[in-house]
Amino acid sequence: MELQVLLFTIFAIGAVTTALLTITRRNPVSSAMNLVAHFFMLSGLYLTMEAQFVAAVQVLVYAGAIMVLVVFVIMLLNLGKEQQLAERGNAVRQTLAFATAGMFAVMMIMAVVGGPSGKTALHENAAMIGTTENIGQVLFTEYLFPFEAVSLLLLAALIGSVILAKRHIKEEA
């Protein structure tokens, strides 16, 4: 077996395992740490597909910045009301869990039984396409307008959140 396929398989199994551990842990901090491990597994998957820039961004942005924010929010939450939250909506939660498990089982059966699609080979320029230089070139030439539109949208969301936070502070004072 080729090393790239072996590493992809290891990272894929690790990603599925850490995702399952993320959603099955009762302790939110343990769940968040499993999510960090999941982000690292995804980064490894990106590296096996020769998307170096995406792998680096995955580690820096998601495993770094986003998870700090998630853990901060977990610590700010009042987790003393956990029992009340667990008692509400059990029937709906169980129904959704069974529906999701059923869809997952159907997808797994289709993946195992179905034949190869022939789309497993990487593009011949995959090593060049995943570099920072190439991504920057495409981002700031072909996709400049969507990039600027997203940056303005994020700026508007940031300003809105600051205004909402300041209004909440004034109401408490």
Give the residue numbers spanning the domain of 105. Answer: 3-142
What's the pLDDT at 76? 72
CATH number, domain of 111, equals 1.20.120.1200
The pLDDT tens digits for 34-47 are: 998 999 999 999 99
Assess if residue 13 is contained within a domain. yes
The pLDDT tens digits for 73-108 are: 777 775 555 555 555 557 777 888 889 889 888 888
**Overall domain count for the chain:** 1
Taking the C-alpha atoms of residue 107 and residue 84, their distance in angstroms, rounded to an integer, is 34
Taking the C-alpha atoms of residue 1 and residue 41, their distance in angstroms, rounded to an integer, is 20
Contact yes or no for 121/128 (Cβ under 8 A):
no
pLDDT at 136 over 60: yes
Task: Tell me if the pTM is above 0.75.
Answer: no
Assess if residue 84 is contained within a domain. yes
Assess if residue 32 is contained within a domain. yes
